[in-house]
Structure formats: C-alpha cells, structure tokens
Amino acid sequence: MFKNITSAVFVTTLATLPVSAQAQDVPPEVVISYADLNLESKAGEEILERRIRKAVEKVCGGPALKINLSFARPIRECVKQVSLDAAKAKNAAVASYNAERLAIRDRKIRLAAR
C-alpha cells in the first residue's frame, strides 16, 4: 500500500511541474547574421537568400509543401508570411548596407513565426 501512495504522490508531483516554454507554443525565432557577407555583391546576396530559406523552414517547421494536405496548410501559411517578412528585412539590409555602416554585431535579420 505504501508503494501505491508513493507512486500516486510522484504522479501528482509530475502533473504539477511547470510546463516548458516550448510546450507553451512560443514561436521559434531564428537570427540570420550577414556580418560576414558583402551585400554589394551578387554572391553575398545569394548566400543571404540561402540562409533566409533555411531559416524560414526552421521557423515554420518545414518547407512549404506543394501538395494540398490539411496538415501542410499551416506550414504553407507560415512560410508565406515569414518569407514576406524576410524579403522586407533583406531588402532593407541590402539598401542600407552601403549607406550606413552598421556595427558587425548589428548585421542580423530576426525571423519568427506569428
């Protein structure tokens, strides 16, 4: 009987532990640095584009699937929205790259799902 009471107390204790941040639906965030890139060159822009594509997939949980499955819809919507945000941030980074020299540590694009 003592063993059953101990097991019940243990299970109750586990059930009342705080839930981690991931389980609370905190959207993932990815920071893309372009400090090592020359955005005045085509090659630098292409590398940044690749980094952005990978970051969008990481934030949204996968690539935008072209098949029409119900489980893929949220991923497609996320990819669409985060890609729009990333394009704006990339265009701003490229446009301001030569005009204002940011400190290397500030040359970042931050992407997050909504």
| pLDDT tens digit sequence for 10-41 | 444 444 444 433 444 666 899 999 988 989 89
Q: Rounded to an integer, what distance in angstroms lies between the CA atom of residue 96 and that of residue 38? A: 12
CA-based torsion, 110, 26, 113, 30: positive or negative: positive
In the prediction, which pLDDT does 112 show? Answer: 86
Which uninterrupted H or E stretch holds 7?
A: helix 2-15
> Does pTM top 0.95 for this prediction?
no
pLDDT in tens, 37-69: 989 899 999 999 999 999 998 998 876 656 567
At residue 64, the pLDDT reads 63
> What residues pair up with 109 in beta bridges, in sequence order?
32
Residue count of the chain, please give it.
114
